[in-house]
Amino acid sequence: MIDNNNLITIKNLVKHFDVKTNLFSRVKNNLKAVNNISFDIKKGETLGIVGESGCGKSTTGKLLLNLLEPTSGEVLFEGKNIYSISNEELRKLRKNMQIIFQDPFASLNPRMKIFDLIKEPLKIHKIGTKENRIKKVKEIIKIVGLDEYHLNKYPHEFSGGQRQRICIARAIILNPKFIICDEAVSALDVSIQSQIINLLKDLQKDFNLTYMFISHDISVVKHVSNRIAVMYLGQIVELAETNDLFKNPKHPYTKALLSAIPIPNPEIKRKKIILKGDVPSPMNLPKGCNFHTRCPYKNEICTTKEPIFKNAGNGHFISCHLNN
Ligand code: SF4
């Protein structure tokens, strides 16, 4: 049954890559980047996705936009599976799904003026007359906190924060419903980070946007997200409302992540949970629970049986035998 409150429904999504063992070898290994994940993104919310680098966050983002083909599984956007629609439907859908990357400089063609860069999505989707497009670009540049005179400049003439504003302008000019922010503020100074986060929050209200906010930094994710999904080795291990997750983390990995956040008050001491051992290779995942090689609470069942990702109440999902 389709829940009308959901903009996106992800069902049993899997993405494995074949990777050559070495340059001359024909033998391929299977890199399990995303491993059977299922979750919803509600209309108008910001869902944060957090986890260490290489845990599958960005691959999940690309799968949701159909920039990668999944190994198996479904992504429903407003009830339609984005992997089985026609090219024409996909082209229309692309207007509604945008992405903002970490490195704005790499996302912007250095030879194009800002006016042309912001106008480009309208041109690609054949939207508006020449006059309409000029008017729209002039409106959008102001909405993202820049001025009309900036339109005549090139990307290298801007700071990192200003370039990210330009990328945001390109993302919202098509009036999308959904935007993925993939480490969108990670490369910026802390003061600029909060300006861009505030801009994204304002735009969410004004344009009725739904966000998926991907970051390795859980304290940044906390500031923007209504709910947070914690990823580890291609799986979601915990998903809950932001306040609930911070007050009542249930998965040992989430507990370790939260214990590492510095507290700005020197009088409050928190015991940091140091995880022993390295993250296993996604080409050679451990049996049972993926986290058992580092988990301080593991017991026998953890090394043989994979825990099920299930609702522990009030939409707090967790994948751990301690709660199964
Ligand atoms: Fe730790 Fe076992 Fe829970 Fe995995 S299932 S997180 S190993 S307690």
Closest residue by Cα to atom 6, ligand 1, is: 320
Joined tokens for residue 224: 């923007």
Protein residue whose Cα sits closest to atom 3 of ligand 1: 320
Nearest atom of ligand 1 to the alpha carbon of 251? 6
| CA of 223 relative to ligand 1 center, distance in Å | 28
Q: Mean pLDDT across the stretch 23-28? A: 71
Cβ(242)–Cβ(228) below 8 Å: yes
- As given in the structure block, the two tokens for residue 60 are 């999940």
Residue 3 has pLDDT above 70, yes or no: no
Strands (E), the chain: 6-20, 28-42, 46-50, 72-77, 80-81, 97-100, 178-182, 210-215, 227-232, 235-241, 309-311, 317-319
In which band, very low, low, confident or very high, does the pLDDT at 172 lie, cut at 50, 70 and 90? very high
Choice from 231, 251, 292, 323 to test ligand 1 binding pocket (greatest atom count within 8 A of CB): 292
* Tokens found for residue 168: 């945001």
d(CA 296, CA 144): 46
Does the pLDDT value for residue 272 go beyond 90? no
pLDDT digits (tens, 9 = 90+) for 255-271: 999 998 877 777 777 78
Segment 26-75, tens digit of pLDDT: 767 889 999 999 999 999 999 999 999 889 999 999 999 999 999 999 99
Which residues, other chains included, contact 107 with Cβ-Cβ below 8 Å and sequence gap of 6+? 100, 101, 167
| pLDDT range class, residue 145, cuts 50, 70, 90 | very high
Residues with CB under 6 A from ligand 1: 251-252, 289, 291-292, 295, 297-298, 302, 307, 320-322
205-208 long-range CB contacts below 8 Å, 24 or more apart?
206/143, 207/172, 207/175, 208/44, 208/177
How far is ligand 1, taken at its centre, from the CA of residue 181, in Å?
Answer: 30
Confidence (pLDDT) at 274 = 83
What pLDDT score does 22 carry? 73
pLDDT value at residue 107 = 83
Rounded distance from Cα 321 to ligand 1 centre (Å): 6
Q: Which of 103-107, 256-260, 277-281 has the highest mean pLDDT?
A: 256-260
More confident residue, 293 or 272: 293
